[in-house]
A and B are shown apart, each in its own frame.
Chain A
Amino acid sequence: MEDIKKLARELLADNKVQLVLGFENGTANRVRPAFFTTPEAVDKLIYNEFCIQNIALYLKKDICQHAASLAITANPNVVRSILQLAAENQIKEEKIKIIGITHEGKCVGLLDFKAAEEFSKTQPKGLKDEDKALIEKIQAMSLEEKFDYWVEAFSPCIKCYACRASCPMCYCGKCNVESNNPQWIPVAPHKYGNMEWHMMRAMHLAGRCINCGECNRSCPVDIPLNILSYMLSDFVLEEFESEAGLSAVFTPALSSYTMVDKENFIK
């Protein structure tokens, strides 16, 4: 942790960045994301096993957008998010300094995008066993069972949009769910509105999701919605050999095609 602090302090002191995005202690033994603007403030910066939130999310917030340059304490999830955001023209390399941190909490120093790509490739990722088990369980169900499962799973959804708010890839200024002309997605949290909302989100994330699981963690009613995009990521990797979050120059699967894409399902 000390080397992270030292790096952050130096960056601010040398005016290399205007802002450091990281964590500090919150109330009741919790950690919370924080923005540090002076070397002194960095005293409060922490990094521990509780700092798992994907703070790449804040890169799209005004405070970061307005900063001329910034640094971020970045675990592998955050690094992948940054690379994907860069691939989608949402962040420029010259503006951001990545303080790389492994899953184990070890600081690997400042990463430029090239180093971040290497880092991202070597850091383990992939689904948790329980997620895999759930996907397998659902896949084994009959058509009706699957449908009922999801209707049931979405039934507690209150459309709080925490999933959207916590997702670094959900950066649209005006989300499609807010569109009312036409009203693509019914607003009310009933079965139909919930189903379409989560389907749309899964499609939007297909080939772009970096599998951080933040949507699931932030869901107040514990909907396992991360497995929708996980399952599609898996599919996209298998079918198109395409994986998000590994490179800052990347065309997601659904913005590209090959001549040999499968078409055995087309008459």
Chain B
Amino acid sequence: MARIGVFICHCGENISATVDCPKVSEVAAKFPGVAFSTDYKYMCSDPGQSLVVNAIKEHKLTGIVVSACSPRMHEPTFRRACAEGGLNPYQCEMANIREHCSWVHEKGDKTDQKAIDIVRMMVEKVKRNNALLPIKVPVTKTALVIGGGVAGIQAALDIANAGHKVIMVERDPSIGGHMSQLSETFPTLDCSQCILTPRMVEVAQNPNIKLYTYAEIESVEGFVGNFNVKIRKKAKSVDETLCNGCGMCTTKCPNKKNPNEFELGMGNRPAIYVPFPQAVPNIPVIDKTQCTYYKNGKCKICEKVCQPKAIRFDQEDEIIEVAVGAIALCTGFDIKKTDFFPEYGYGKYKDIIDGLQFERLASASGPTSGEIRRPSDGQVPKKIVFVACAGSRDPAKGIEYCSKICCMYTAKHAILYKHKVHDGQAYIFYMDIRAAGKNYDEFTRRAIEEDQAQYIRGRVSRIYERDGKLIVVGADTLMNAQTVEIEADMVVLATAGVANKGAEELAQKLHVSYDQHKFFSEAHPKLKPVETNTAGIYLAGACQSPKDIPESVAAASGVAGKIACLFANSELTREPLIAMVDRQAPPMYSSCTGCFLCQPVCPYNAIEREEVKDRNGNLVRELAFINPGLCQGCGTCVAVCKSKSIDIEGYTNLQMYAEVDALLNS
């Protein structure tokens, strides 16, 4: 006979303001099988949990329903309390009367009735809960870091230094990410390359880190502790073991006029190239779309000049399979290009550039060797207009969020410009100056006060070209919304930071969720900022949302810490909410017919064929068997099985049937 305890939480006033908690408790007390029912202000607090623990003992409860917030929030809390009371932790269910009731309805009888119905449903469910034992699975103590920007570098080094193996996969020919493209960094103005390059070299030299550049994730299977990952190592057309990085090939390549990605199209590179001088690894790749040999079948000059004979035109993509226990997603971000802005000419004006292009112009290793010269004619611009929030915080552009880094880097750009062009004048159109951070506001003040950047609070409505000048038309909202027109020599748009190319596809390969802007979603915005909803997969850096360098690095170290915790045990415990095929005594053995129509629906290949044999070893039956190590508990096989021979713990046929029954037949 079931003895169920019902615990109605007020959640301060979050529930009790709209739901009559004492009344719900009173009604629930009368449900068949309910032995105890009460309400309390904060069920998740220590006294609240003690209340649950004591009630279980005192009333000899066989199961509990905690009627409070979403199970996605506090299910683990109350399962622990349930266990503390001496019950199997899985004899606990949560009735969600906060997110699904009190927060979405007005106070009234209908809302009370709904809360009562939700509680009744869960009471009927918990009566049918089974006692379950957690599943133990081994952990492969190797981490995969996807993305070799500053976040990936930090995560990889921290994990490696904790003594674990790391596999790093980078899409480009070199690690370094966007940080390697920056000139100086705010708020200290130290050179980006100078602080990053040593870290890049460390990655290459750390014996615990295996680096795959020019490689992408092909597929990911498995689950926390036991991922199987296929990596596509794209053909570099160069034998990495032989190449000594002498650079002869890139110097002699006759096909030199290809847009340089690293310089964002502001310079050229040969068809065989190293993206930038400090690249790690310092091994060139051949761009097959541009190489004369791949296009016309003739040339091979690089092969002739290569002393170590490392050029391999017939090299093919290689698929590498690795087993890892945890994955760090550090794939970074991208920015909107200037062609995103019709009002600024759809990208047709050469001297309207984006922030990253300005970084390259200001960088000593950039296309102008650090001199600020405009792309159209190489002149030194005497008037530059910076437009902050280009795209960001603009619902009409589909980007409601703040890109976070632009206020600071725009201030930095104005400072760098003034340092390089002393008689130049920078104008900055802005909405708000967001400079929250250590020494950040001081930095923007420096731009205004020491380096005479003219900040104009207002948006730019249009930019057009006239007589070789860019006419920037905007409003000054601090001057009675007067129209301002500035004849600029160059315009820098601080374009919105957006999700990186391929983010959505990667998220789908890894089964992690992402938001409407394709940024990866954290498991909890406050309490689990570096975890994803998928166990064993973590995220750091700007793949989550635009972030600056210190934030990305901090998150990356957080991820490394999480992964080190995971790797601290050789086994990990998994929730036993998995599917199982019915087993009975001979001669039935099972109601399973062995049709295996469940097999193709399993996303995890967890359904195996089990042979039932008699004493003589003769095959009697073939039955489906679900590997508990592989099953993730989606339950698709349950719904597909015609003879209802498969059931899934936590969502059994009996439970679901009882829930529907309780909702309607009362």
- Direct chain A–B contact by Cβ atoms under 8 Å: yes
Task: Give which listed residue, B594, B644, B654, contacts A176 with CB less than 8 A.
Answer: B644
Interchain Cβ contacts under 8 Å between A and B, 17 examples: A89-B595, A89-B596, A90-B593, A173-B593, A173-B643, A174-B591, A174-B643, A175-B643, A176-B642, A179-B644, A182-B653, A182-B657, A184-B644, A204-B642, A251-B600, A255-B600, A255-B601
B593 touches A182 (CB 8 A): no
CA distance A173 to B600 in the complex (A): 22
Residues of B within 8 A of A255 (CB): 597-601, 640
CA distance A170 to B599 in the complex (A): 19
A88 touches B595 (CB 8 A): yes
CA distance A255 to B643 in the complex (A): 15
Main DSSP-derived SS at the B contact region: loop
Q: Mark B633-657, 1 if CB is under 8 A from A, else 0.
A: 0000000101111000000011001
With both beta carbons as reference points, the residue of chain A lying nearest to B657 in the complex is identified as A182
A29: Cβ under 8 A from any B Cβ: no
B658: Cβ under 8 A from any A Cβ: yes
B664: Cβ under 8 A from any A Cβ: no
CA distance A174 to B644 in the complex (A): 9
With both beta carbons as reference points, the residue of chain B lying nearest to A176 in the complex is identified as B644
B1: Cβ under 8 A from any A Cβ: no
Q: A88-B593, A88-B595, A174-B645 are known; give 13 further A-B pairs, CB within 8 A.
A: A88-B597, A172-B642, A173-B593, A174-B588, A174-B591, A174-B643, A176-B643, A182-B653, A184-B657, A251-B597, A255-B598, A255-B599, A255-B640
A171-198 contacts to B (CB < 8 Å): 171-176, 179, 181-182, 184
Q: Mark A34-75, 1 if CB is under 8 A from B, else 0.
A: 000000000000000000000000000000000000000000
Given known contacts A181-B654, A182-B654, A182-B658, A172 and B597 CB-to-CB distance under 8 angstroms:
no
Q: Which 4 A-B pairs have the closest CB atoms?
A: A182-B657, A174-B591, A172-B643, A88-B595
Residues of B within 8 A of A184 (CB): 644, 653, 657
Task: Give chain B's interface residues, CB within 8 Å of chain A.
Answer: 588, 591, 593-601, 622, 640, 642-645, 653-654, 657-658
A221: Cβ under 8 A from any B Cβ: no
CA distance A141 to B465 in the complex (A): 68
With both beta carbons as reference points, the residue of chain B lying nearest to A88 in the complex is identified as B595
CA distance A9 to B594 in the complex (A): 33
Main DSSP-derived SS at the A contact region: loop
Task: Give which listed residue, A88, A172, A182, A251, contacts B591 with CB less than 8 A.
Answer: A172
A158: Cβ under 8 A from any B Cβ: no
Residues of B within 8 A of A171 (CB): 593
Residues of A within 8 A of B644 (CB): 176, 179, 184
Task: Give chain A's interface residues, CB within 8 Å of chain B.
Answer: 88-90, 171-176, 179, 181-182, 184, 204, 251-252, 254-256
Residues of B within 8 A of A89 (CB): 594-596, 622
CA distance A252 to B596 in the complex (A): 11
Residues of A within 8 A of B642 (CB): 172, 176, 204
Residues of B within 8 A of A204 (CB): 642
CB of A104 to closest CB in B, whole Å: 33
Task: Give which listed residue, A172, A179, A251, A252, contacts B593 with CB less than 8 A.
Answer: A172
Residues of A within 8 A of B593 (CB): 88, 90, 171-173
Residues of A within 8 A of B657 (CB): 182, 184
With both beta carbons as reference points, the residue of chain A lying nearest to B624 in the complex is identified as A89
CA distance A252 to B597 in the complex (A): 8
Given known contacts A89-B622, A254-B640, A173 and B591 CB-to-CB distance under 8 angstroms:
yes
With both beta carbons as reference points, the residue of chain B lying nearest to A208 in the complex is identified as B597
With both beta carbons as reference points, the residue of chain A lying nearest to B592 in the complex is identified as A173
Residues of B within 8 A of A251 (CB): 597, 600
Residues of A within 8 A of B594 (CB): 89-90
CB of A259 to closest CB in B, whole Å: 11
CB of B312 to closest CB in A, whole Å: 36
With both beta carbons as reference points, the residue of chain B lying nearest to A251 in the complex is identified as B600
Residues of A within 8 A of B600 (CB): 251, 255-256
Residues of A within 8 A of B591 (CB): 172-174
Residues of A within 8 A of B598 (CB): 255
CB of B261 to closest CB in A, whole Å: 32
With both beta carbons as reference points, the residue of chain B lying nearest to A85 in the complex is identified as B595
CA distance A184 to B644 in the complex (A): 10
CA distance A262 to B621 in the complex (A): 38
CB of B654 to closest CB in A, whole Å: 6
CA distance A176 to B657 in the complex (A): 14
Give the interface centre of A184, A204, A255 by most chain B CB atoms within 10 Å: A255
With both beta carbons as reference points, the residue of chain B lying nearest to A256 in the complex is identified as B600
With both beta carbons as reference points, the residue of chain B lying nearest to A183 in the complex is identified as B657
Residues of B within 8 A of A182 (CB): 653-654, 657-658
CB of A64 to closest CB in B, whole Å: 15
Residues of A within 8 A of B640 (CB): 254-255
CB of B75 to closest CB in A, whole Å: 25
CA distance A255 to B601 in the complex (A): 6
Residues of A within 8 A of B643 (CB): 172-176
With both beta carbons as reference points, the residue of chain A lying nearest to B654 in the complex is identified as A182
CB of B591 to closest CB in A, whole Å: 4
CA distance A88 to B599 in the complex (A): 11
Give the interface centre of A182, A252, A256 by most chain B CB atoms within 10 Å: A182
